[in-house]
């Protein structure tokens, strides 16, 4: 994330200066931040912090001196834009009644594309604020899937994302699709999101051609299968998952993965290793 804030060139130059200056010396993160700040402030390339009333050190210290990481809440507005707020990522059931929720907040860079030019831009979500963004070009936050956050959308946004994925799988890059699968199932597992949204999103995988989003589904199926095995309707769940996986079996058998990955065995062994017989 730091590299994306200061730019690849500035980060590389700063790291080189840091290693040369402090070779064989004891250092800590303050020394690294001081060097990066010096290189960033002297750069003519511009930067993600231009026009802001805080420094690189201010940003990074919100990440290294606080526990946890952010959950971004995305809500659709009537004008088509979205409002984004933050809270600490936590399991809903772990909140103790009578205790105030954690007030931990971060300075969060939100990396987007300009709606007109599609060039990379950044918008900042700072403590106790709301960011209003135009996501019509990107559809989702963190399109490249590289920020250290979880993202929770409202129902309208989930339905729009699902519809677009069904129309064109490649409307989002692989990283964003993988991130969407991981976030939706993780948030459902801890009680922040209905499983209806997570499972509805997963149906688009019937048209998927990249392996990472499929592998992410498989990782979360372990959790679901372990809890649904004894449920009276488990066979319906199996049928639902098989409906998703059938075209994927065909695709990856026709287009084998490198290094001989046995995808079909991985899915069967990890997703359906239960006493309940498979539905055929």
Return per-residue pLDDT of the chain as tens, 280 residues.
888 888 888 889 999 999 999 999 999 888 988 998 888 777 656 567 878 898 888 999 999 888 899 999 999 999 999 999 999 998 764 555 555 667 899 999 999 998 889 888 899 999 999 999 999 889 999 888 778 999 999 999 999 999 999 999 999 999 999 999 999 999 999 999 999 999 999 999 999 999 999 999 999 998 899 889 999 989 999 999 999 999 988 888 888 776 545 554 554 454 444 443 333 3
Residues 272 and 229: their CA atoms lie apart, in Å, by: 9
Handedness of CA 47, 48, 52, 57 (dihedral sign): negative
Question: Are the beta carbons of 263 and 217 closer than 8 angstroms?
Answer: no
Question: Are the beta carbons of 157 and 141 closer than 8 angstroms?
Answer: no
Residues 149 and 130: their CA atoms lie apart, in Å, by: 16
**∠ Cα 104 65 126 (to 5°):** 45
Q: Can you give the pTM of this predicted structure?
A: 0.84
Please, which residues bridge with residue 151 across strands? 72
Least Cα distance to 82 among 102, 106, 110 occurs for 110
Coil/strand/helix, residue 247: helix
Structure tokens at 81: 């834009």
Q: How far is CA 84 from CA 81, 119, 130, 151, 174, in A?
A: 10, 21, 6, 10, 23
């Amino acid at each position: 994330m730091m590299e994306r804030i200061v730019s690849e060139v500035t980060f590389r130059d700063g790291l080189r200066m840091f290693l040369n200056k402090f070779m064989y010396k004891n250092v800590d993160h303050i020394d690294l931040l001081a060097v990066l700040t010096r290189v960033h402030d002297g750069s003519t390339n511009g930067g993600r912090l231009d026009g802001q009333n805080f420094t690189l050190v201010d940003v990074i210290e919100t990440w290294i001196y606080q526990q946890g990481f952010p959950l971004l809440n995305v809500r659709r507005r009537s004008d088509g834009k979205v409002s984004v707020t933050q809270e600490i990522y936590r399991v809903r059931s772990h909140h103790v009644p009578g205790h105030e929720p954690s007030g931990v907040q971060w300075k969060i860079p939100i990396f987007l594309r300009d709606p007109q030019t599609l060039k990379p831009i950044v918008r900042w979500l700072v403590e106790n604020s709301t960011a209003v963004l135009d996501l019509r070009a990107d559809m989702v936050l963190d399109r490249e899937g590289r920020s250290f956050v979880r993202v929770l959308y409202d129902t309208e946004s989930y339905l729009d994302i699902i519809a677009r994925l069904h129309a064109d799988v490649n409307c989002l890059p692989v990283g964003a699709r993988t991130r969407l699968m991981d976030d939706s199932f993780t948030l459902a597992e801890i009680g922040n999101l209905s499983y209806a949204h997570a499972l509805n999103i997963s149906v688009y995988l019937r048209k998927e051609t990249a392996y990472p989003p499929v592998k992410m589904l498989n990782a979360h199926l372990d959790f679901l299968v372990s809890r649904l095995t004894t449920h009276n309707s488990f066979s319906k769940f199996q049928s639902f998952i098989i409906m998703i996986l059938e075209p994927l079996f065909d695709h990856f058998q026709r287009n084998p993965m490198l290094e001989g990955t046995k995808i079909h065995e991985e899915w069967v062994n990890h997703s359906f290793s239960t006493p309940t017989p498979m539905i055929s």
